[in-house]
Amino acid sequence: MIPISQANLGEIRKHALDEYPHECCGIIIGFAESKEEDVLFRCTNIQNRLHKMDPKAYPRDARTAYNIEPKELIEVFNQIKSRRMVLKTFYHSHPDHDAYFSNEDKKMALFDGEPTYPDAKYLVVSVYDKVVKDEAWFEWNSQTRSFEKQNH
């Protein structure tokens, strides 16, 4: 069983196609205890803006990287706090690349060697030529201290 609804998975695939050939990114939040529906946020990938502003600090553009608009991130965390929700999933796409957890992805998910959101799941969607080819889920494993692919 994949940890999200078919409707949200469909929405993520659609988002990945909409942003192609750039990476899409987004977040799913939900309730830990109740069966109430999760909430999906399509986030803005500001990587092209960062790359243009400072190509030395941000050598990759949005075709091979993503950075979530900070204002949107704040909005998501405000909702989590005010509605007592939890962060469930970070998703992003890999245009013309396979669904693996790249070194860049690991760097984004870690802070000072520790996972920033140890309970969050990470979904990577692979898109080739405007067709969703593959998907993979990754989670932090505290025993091996790495992000490992999950089989759902």
User: Which among 47, 41, 50 is positioned nearest to 15, based on CA atoms?
Assistant: 41
Q: Is the dihedral of CA 109, 112, 113, 114 positive or negative?
A: negative
Q: What is the closest distance, in whole angstroms, from the C-beta atom of residue 70 to Zn ion in the complex?
A: 19
Judged by CB under 5 A, the number of residues near Zn ion is 2
Q: Which is nearer to Zn ion, 31 or 147 (CB)?
A: 147
Residues 57 and 115 sit within 8 Å (Cβ to Cβ)? no
* Interaction between residue 19 and Zn ion (CB under 5 A): no
Half-sphere exposure of 56 (CA within 13 A, CB side): 0
- Which is nearer to Zn ion, 85 or 125 (by Cβ)? 125
Please say which residue, 19 or 105, places its beta carbon nearer to Zn ion.
105
Q: Is 105 one of the binding residues for Zn ion (CB under 5 A)?
A: yes
Helix (H) or strand (E) holding 110, with range, is strand 110-111
CB of 79 to Zn ion, least distance (A): 25
Find the binding residues for Zn ion in span 83-102 (CB under 5 A). Answer: 102
Q: What's the distance, Cα to Cα, between the start and end of the chain in Å? A: 5
Min dist. Cβ of residue 36 to Zn ion (A): 30
Q: How many helices (H) and strands (E) does the chain have?
A: 4, 8
Shortest reach from residue 23's CB to Zn ion, in Å: 7
**Nearer to Zn ion by C-beta: 8 or 126?**
126
For Zn ion, the binding residues (CB under 5 A) are 102, 105
